Structure 1
Amino acid sequence: MAPAVNGHRPRRRYDASGRRVRAAERRETVLNAARHQFLADGFAATTLAGVAAEAAVSVESIYKSFGSKAGLLKAVWHRSLAGSAPTHAELRSDAGSRAAPDGVAIIRNWARLAVEVGAVADPIFRLVESAAHVDAEVAQLQAQIERERAARMEHNAAYLVEGGYLRDGVTPEQARDVLLLYTTFYDRLVTQAGWTPEQYQSFVERGLVAHLLA
């Protein structure tokens, strides 16, 4: 115990780290419950009360954190973009692109991450596409997702441009569009057609190399 000064003991500093950890754990629990129910029951049939019950939290806390059911879906989507490793996939993508010795290595890292992120994000993306037809707030979310995806692929394409790896005649905008295209096939090829993740990774890598590199 700290000694008294002039007859008064100093106030103990409040450590909020434990509270932040618990809040993050509760948020993760809510997002996992929401993902489970969205994918099992669909957007329309999922209720915040049902998510709250599965996550063992109050409905009011979900409203406070996410604002609405569409806001909760948005958070589930953004969480899925992290992939399945502790470090966010976008951070690993950037680190891999900066460290890569050539364009092929950059694309190989992208292809690997496309499989990892596609496995968790693509089902949510398809859910957003479907729900956007019946919910105006989700339609706004879909438009935001498309803008964010385009911005991210433009960011990725810049690594090829700045490294001098981009094929002559391919503009940065075209590179962005090609990257967008090749990262939308996960559901069609793996989920529906039964390709293995390794086959999909090879498809993405070979296609991007052929289309983008000099």
Structure 2
Amino acid sequence: MSRTRSYDNSGRVEAAAETRRRVIATARDLLVSEGYHAMSVAQLARTAGLSPQTVYNSVGGKAEVVKAVYDVMLAGDEDPTPMSERPEFLAMGEAPDRAAFGRAYAAWSASIYARVGSLLGVLLADGAGGDQGLRDFVSTIDRERRTGNGHAVDTLERRHGLAPGRDREELVDEIWTLTAAEVYDRLVRRCGWTHEAYAAWLGDALAAATAREVSGRKR
């Protein structure tokens, strides 16, 4: 009687994961040191000691590589768990009032920029120009950040309710603007603020935004 032999492909899976990590780490170093426009898939492959096809197979083209680098730096790891489902985000729900929630969210946002700010500075420094991939990247991270801002406002509303007269979408608009990568880049890289000064400013701004009552105004 014949038996079906099971095939263990764990070694191949780990090798593929290691190649992906290698591509992302090399791309991160190239982007931060040489800039977005200077990095190509060919240069990335050469620096990583891989073939261009391996880069395409493991991560994708330049746009996918940049997004992968950003996602890993944003999260601080390769865990695919959404940011809004992580313990650090969920812990903000324990803030005792609206202003404290705003400060907690500011601290969490600032901690993200501590990880990813160097990359965003490079990506924003020269603008997208005619590069559709970079424009798409900026649009994507803006959209993702707004989704995250919405999750934060929903948490605030469940925990404390919105301040009297506050419109949910208007509050999301304000938080989306205050936490923008361009604002961080403008204050820290272009104006020379320290990261700590930025975090303190953002804490004051988000505390005011989440606690402020509004009367007699419509969007």
* Smaller-chain TM-score bracket: 0.7 to 0.9
Q: Note the C-alpha offset of 1:74.
A: 1.9
* Superposition pairs of residues 72-87 of structure 1, within 5 angstroms: 72-83=65-76
Partners of 1:89 and 1:59 in 2: CA distance? 31
Stretch moving more, 95-104 or 69-78: 95-104
Aligned residues: 207
5 Å matches for 1:194-213? 194-213=192-211
Instruction: Report matched runs for 1:103-182 at 5 Å.
Output: 103-129=98-124, 130=126, 132-182=128-178
Per-residue displacement from partner, 1:91-121 (whole Å, max 9, x unpaired)?
2443223444443443333222222211232
Structure-2 separation of matches of 1:74 and 1:84: 14
Partner of 1:55: 48
Q: Give the ranges of 4+ consecutive aligned residues of structure 1 lying more than 6 Å apart after TM superposition.
A: 84-88
Matches within 5 A, 1:178-189: 178-184=174-180, 185-189=183-187
Q: Note the 1:10-21 alignment, pairs <5 A.
A: 11=5, 13-21=6-14
**Which consecutive unaligned segments of at least 5 residues does structure 2 have?**
213-219
- Give, as a single letter, the amino acid of the residue that structure 2 aligns with 1:159: T
Mapped contact 2:35–2:122 kept (Cα < 8 A) = yes
What TM-score, normalized by structure 2, do the two folds share?
A: 0.78
Which amino acid in structure 2 is aligned with residue 22 of structure 1?
A: A
Kindly state the Cα deviation for residue 208 of structure 1 after the two structures are TM-superposed. Answer: 0.8
The separation in 2 between residues aligned to 1:182 and 1:193, in whole angstroms, is 16
Q: For the residues of structure 1 that align with 2:82 and 2:18, how far apart are their CA atoms?
A: 17
RMSD of equivalent CA atoms: 2.8
Bigger Rg, structure 1 or 2: 1
- Distance in structure 1 (CA, Å) of the matches to 2:83 and 2:76: 6
CA contact (8 A) 2:23 2:48 kept: yes
Query: Percent identity at matched positions?
Result: 31
* Structure 1 CA distance for aligned equivalents of residues 201 and 35 of structure 2: 30
Deviation at residue 75 of structure 1 after TM alignment: 1.7
CA distance in 2, matches of 1:195, 1:145: 23
TM-score normalised by structure 1 residue count = 0.80
Q: 5+ residue gaps in structure 1?
A: 1-5
CA distance in 2, matches of 1:132, 1:115: 24
Question: Which whole-Å CA distance do the structure 1 matches of 2:77 and 2:165 have between them?
Answer: 36
CA distance in 2, matches of 1:119, 1:103: 24
1:144-188 CA distance string (max 9 Å, x none): 222222222112111112223422222111221222222233222
Which residue, 190, 193, 201 being the options, matches 2:191? 193
Letter aligned with residue 115 of structure 2 = V
Aligned residue in 2 for 1:41:
34
